[in-house]
């Protein structure tokens, strides 16, 4: 199986600062690591993902880092805006059929 730990559970930042969320996984065979943003009452939406053949990926103010040795991956949101306030979930997959195991989520609150 797979377990994914996600920290912190709540993150408060000021608008314009950066926010970082960290996840660790157990299964060294995990090879796909997506990040989802979920707003209240909405479905989770993929914001960025990284595969095990990469160490870093960046898109539109988001950076993900993957350290396979430490079995750790992280999301960094640069220049946060109030619209970034939401629940963020990391996930890991090691199955060919892509069963996702999610972390418990981080509530990000960006204050103006």
Partner 1 sequence: GPKVLQIPSHQIIDMGQMVTLNCDPVSNHLYFYWYKQILGQQMEFLVNFYNGKVMEKSKLFKDQFSVERPDGSYFTLKIQPTALEDSAVYFCASSPGGGNTQYFGPGTRLLVL
Residues that bind partner 1 (CB under 8 A): 32, 34, 36, 42-46, 49, 89, 95-105
The smaller minimum CB distance to partner 1, of residues 12 and 99, is found at 99
Minimum CB–partner distance for residue 102 and partner 1 (Å): 4
Minimum CB–partner distance for residue 71 and partner 1 (Å): 18
The smaller minimum CB distance to partner 1, of residues 53 and 112, is found at 53
Minimum CB–partner distance for residue 73 and partner 1 (Å): 16
85's tokens: 């306030």
Do 106 and 87 contact (CB within 8 A), yes or no?
yes
Burial bucket for residue 88 (CB in 10 Å: 0-12, 13-18, 19+): buried
Taken in order 5, 13, 68, 32, the sign of the CA dihedral is: positive
The smaller minimum CB distance to partner 1, of residues 10 and 18, is found at 10
Query: If you compute the radius of gyration of the chain from its CA atoms, what whole number of angstroms results?
Result: 13
């Amino acid at each position: 199986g797979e377990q994914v730990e996600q920290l912190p559970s709540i993150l408060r930042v000021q608008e314009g600062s950066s926010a970082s969320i960290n996840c660790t996984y157990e299964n060294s065979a995990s090879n796909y690591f997506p990040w989802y943003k979920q707003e209240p009452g909405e479905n989770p939406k993929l914001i960025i993902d990284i595969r095990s053949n990469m160490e870093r990926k960046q898109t539109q103010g988001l950076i993900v880092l993957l350290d396979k040795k430490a079995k750790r991956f992280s999301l960094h949101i640069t220049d946060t805006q109030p619209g970034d306030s939401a629940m963020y979930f990391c996930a890991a997959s090691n199955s060919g059929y892509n069963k996702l195991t999610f972390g418990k989520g981080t509530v990000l609150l960006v204050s103006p």
